[in-house]
Structure 1
Amino acid sequence: MTEQLLLPSFYLPNVSYFQAIYQHKGSICIEQHEHFPKQTYRTRTRIGTANGGLDLIVPIVHGKKMHVPVKDIRINYDHPWQRLHWLSIETAYRSSAYFEYYEDDFNRFYTEQFEFLLDYNMAQLELLLKLLKINREVILSESFMKNIDAAIDWRKDAKPQKPSLMTDPNPYYQVFEDKTGFVPDLSIIDLLFNQGPQSRSYL
Structure 2
Amino acid sequence: MQILLPIFYLPPISWFAVFLQDDAEIIFEQYENFPKQTYRNRTNIYGANGKLSLIIPMNHNGTRLLKEIQTSTREKWQHIHWKSIKTAYQTSPYFEYYEDKLEKIFSFKTASLVEFNLNALKIVQKLLKTEKAYSLNNEYFKEPEYLNYRDQLSAKTETNFQMVEYYQSFSDKFGYLKDLSIIDLLCNKGPEALTYIKNVKTK
User: TM-score by structure 1 length?
Assistant: 0.91
- Whole-Å separation in 1 of the counterparts to 2:19 and 2:108: 27
Q: Of 153, 166, 177, which aligns to 1:172?
A: 166
Paired residue type of 1:14: P
Contact 2:94 2:190 in 1 (8 A): yes
The answer as to 2:84 corresponding to 1:88 is yes
Write the mapping of 1:73-84 to structure 2, written as runs, cut at 5 A.
73-84=69-80
Q: How many residues align?
A: 197
- Helix, strand or coil for the counterpart of 1:54? strand
Provide Cα deviations, 1:2-47, integer angstroms capped at 9, x if missing partner.
x211111111000111011223522211100001111111000000
Paired residue type of 1:19: A
- Whole-Å separation in 1 of the counterparts to 2:130 and 2:148: 20
CA RMSD of aligned residues (A): 1.5
CA shift, 1:165, in A, is 4.3
Gaps of 5+ in 2: 198-203
Gaps of 5+ in 1: none
The answer as to 2:101 corresponding to 1:140 is no
The answer as to 2:177 corresponding to 1:183 is yes
Q: Of 105, 109, 112, which aligns to 1:113?
A: 109
Provide Cα deviations, 1:97-151, integer angstroms capped at 9, x if missing partner.
111111111212222321100000011112222222333221111111223357x
Mean Cα deviation higher: 182-191 or 15-24: 15-24
User: TM-score by structure 2 length?
Assistant: 0.91
- Whole-Å separation in 2 of the counterparts to 1:77 and 1:63: 12
Paired residue type of 1:170: V
Contact 1:45 1:55 in 2 (8 A): yes
Q: Of 148, 151, 157, which aligns to 1:162?
A: 157
Bigger share in strand: 2
Identity %: 41
- Whole-Å separation in 2 of the counterparts to 1:185 and 1:156: 16
The answer as to 2:194 corresponding to 1:196 is no
